[in-house]
Structures are given as C-alpha cells and as structure tokens.
Chains A and B, each alone.
Chain A
Amino acid sequence: MTFPAELDRRFRDAAAAAGLLDVAYDVMDSPIGPLLVAVSPRGLCRISFEGEAALDDLAARAGTRVLRSPRPVEEARRELDEYFEGRRRGFGLRVDLHGLPVFQRRVLEELVRVHYGEVATYGTLAARIGKPRAARAVGGALNRNPVPVVVPCHRIVGASGSLVGYAGGLERKRALLELEGAAV
C-alpha cells in the first residue's frame, strides 16, 4: 500500500508548524550527490552525504524528534542550490554547533574565515586558533564536521597543497574546490 502523499505532507507540515521538532530535515539533489540537510530551532545542524544513515547520530545529538519536513529546510536548500549554481559565495544561514566539543567548535568557527576560492593548510588553521602544534587534532575536528560545504572544511589542504582527506571523499572535495575556482 502506498501511503497517501497529501496526508503525509499535512502531518509533516503540522509537526513543524506546531514547533514539535528537535530536527527537521530533507534530502536534496546536488552536483556532489544527494545531501541530507537538517535544521534545529537554533539553525543548520547537519549536512550529510550518507542520507538517512545520519538520523541516529542526529537524534543522539539534538533530540529524538527528528522528522523529514521540507518547509523548515527551504532556506538552507535555496542557499545551497545557489552555491552549487555558482551564484553564491557565502552563506547567510545560522549554524548550530551546539553539543560539539569546545575544541571542535573553535576549529569550525575559525574555518568560516577561510573564504570562497581560498585554501589554507591544517597547520595554518591550528596556528590561527593558538595551537600551532595541533594540526593533526585540527584534521580530526574537520573530519567530524557536521555541516560540510557550509562550514567549508573542503578548503583545508595539506602542507604540500595536496588534498589529503575529506569525510565525503576526495572526489567531492576536488569538485567543491573546482566549483569555487580555487588554485589546487
């Protein structure tokens, strides 16, 4: 039996409109594959390349009332679409890093200063947060970035300029840097 789409949509809209969700999410197409995009009442809290496999992690971090509900995610979708079409160089979205370790938050907050089309090294980023010897720990924090693309961990490269690593895979990292016209 196929569930009636209109009834399903009405429930998902009503749940969000009543303010009952810890997290609303949707899945959108992008040039780097389908993205799960999730928002909490505090802002954008997750972008995942793994689709709904990220739901358990989200429920543990933000609360169990996680529901696919497109309306609250519309603004984030629109900005991401504009970014992938090359019409947007920065994001105006509020980002929710609540619940992450302090060190990781510092790294991710500093990362936002590496602008569109630029790259920086792990060591540079470590130095910018006052921990010049913590390049490896910075790498770990970036690897667990809950909101890739918007918090641009793809702009951090190895000391030699090589791409090194990316939680979403090096092909995606390369595609994002090419989209931004970064010299790598």
Chain B
Amino acid sequence: MPPFERFYTDHRDEILGYLTRVLGREDAEDAFQETFLRALRAYPKLEHGRHLRAWVFTIASRIAVDEHRRRRPAGEAPESAVEDRGPAYAEIAHLTDELPPTERAAVVLRYGYDLAYEDIGAALGSSEEAARQAASSGVRRLRRRRSE
C-alpha cells in the first residue's frame, strides 16, 4: 500500500473535478472532504494497492448519489436502456446536470473518467449490467433532449 499522502495527491484533482461536475461547486467541497475522510478510515483495511482509483470513485459516487437523494427525495426512475454508442464526453458534459442522479453519475464516470462498468457498478452499489443500463439510459435521454 502506498502512503496515504501519495494516494491523496494522485487522486484529489480528478475526484474534486468529478464531484464538482455532479454536485456543483458549493456542495463538491464538503463531499470531497467526506470522500477522503472515509477513505482514510478504511485505508488500513485494504489488503493491496490495486484499483485504488476505482475505489475512491466508489466512495465519491456514493456520497454524491446520497447528496442528490437528500436534495430531491422523489428523483426520477431511470429508464431501461437499448443502446450505448459512447458519445464524445465534451459534447454532453454540460447537459448531464439535468439527468437523474444515478444516470448522471454513470454517464460522468463512463465518459468523463473512462471507468469500466464493473467499477461504476461498484461505485453506484449496483451490478455491472445496471451500471451499463444507467449510462446508456442517460445517453439516450441526453440525445432526446438535444434533438428537442
């Protein structure tokens, strides 16, 4: 296991970027602090230093999704997915704000940070397949909105 300092400095930029994207600047800072405090509590229990990036995204995503649910308890239910053709993230980044929390997290993790669906599933507390569906459902919703 690397010393926590190295883990923290390796990942703090993209975790803050991710949380800012999904929560907005104001809430991102509190969520950032909570993410790394939780990571610090759990760090001694990790058995090896592989997958640390996916692991910290998992923690950050759970915090972000909880924060969304706290804000909007009656969030929209995700639609089932049909296709997933992987749009260029820059094209859709500014639109993801309007997606339901789980879809938004899945789209941002997949296209913004190139995480595997297996890792996104772990991050969102669901299966790999559910993560794939949330991402493609989000993408379909974005396409629909763009063509409206």
Question: Which B residues are CB-close (under 8 A) to A21?
Answer: 40
Interface of chain A, helix or strand or loop or mixed? mixed
Which residues of B from 97 to 120 have beta carbons under 8 Å from A? none
Question: Which B residues are CB-close (under 8 A) to A18?
Answer: 37
Rounded to whole angstroms, the CA-CA distance of A58 and B2 in the bound complex is: 11
- In this complex, what residue of B is CB-closest to A57? B3
Contact at A11–B3, with CB atoms within 8 Å? no
A-B contact count (CB 8 A): 58
Nearest chain B CB to A128's CB is how many angstroms away? Answer: 36
Question: Which B residues are CB-close (under 8 A) to A66?
Answer: 3-5
User: Which of A2-10, A98-106, A116-124, A174-182 is found at the contact surface with chain B?
Assistant: A2-10
Contact at B40–A8, with CB atoms within 8 Å? no
Contact of A56 among B3, B8, B16, B32 (CB under 8 A): B3
Contact at B32–A11, with CB atoms within 8 Å? yes
Question: Which B residues are CB-close (under 8 A) to A7?
Answer: 16, 29, 32-33
Contact at A10–B44, with CB atoms within 8 Å? no
Contact at B5–A20, with CB atoms within 8 Å? no
Contact of A67 among B5, B16, B41 (CB under 8 A): B5
Number of interface residues, chain A, beta carbon within 8 A: 24
The yes or no answer to A173 lying at the interface (CB within 8 A) is: no
The yes or no answer to B89 lying at the interface (CB within 8 A) is: no
Given contacts A7-B32, A64-B3, contact A15 B40 (CB under 8 A): yes
Would you give the 0/1 interface string for A16-38, flagging 1 where the beta carbon is closer than 8 Å to chain B? Answer: 00101110000000000000000
- In this complex, what residue of A is CB-closest to B6? A55
Provide 23 A-B residue pairs closer than 8 Å at the C-beta atoms, listed in order of the A residue: A1-B17, A3-B13, A7-B16, A10-B33, A11-B8, A11-B33, A11-B36, A11-B37, A14-B37, A20-B37, A20-B41, A22-B44, A52-B5, A55-B3, A55-B6, A59-B2, A59-B3, A64-B4, A64-B44, A66-B3, A66-B5, A67-B4, A68-B5
A residues near B (Cβ < 8 Å) are: 1, 3-4, 7-8, 10-11, 14-15, 18, 20-22, 52, 55-56, 58-59, 63-68
B residues near A (Cβ < 8 Å) are: 1-6, 8, 12-13, 16-17, 29, 32-33, 36-37, 40-41, 43-44
Q: Which are the 3 A-B pairs with shortest beta-carbon distances?
A: A66-B3, A59-B3, A55-B3
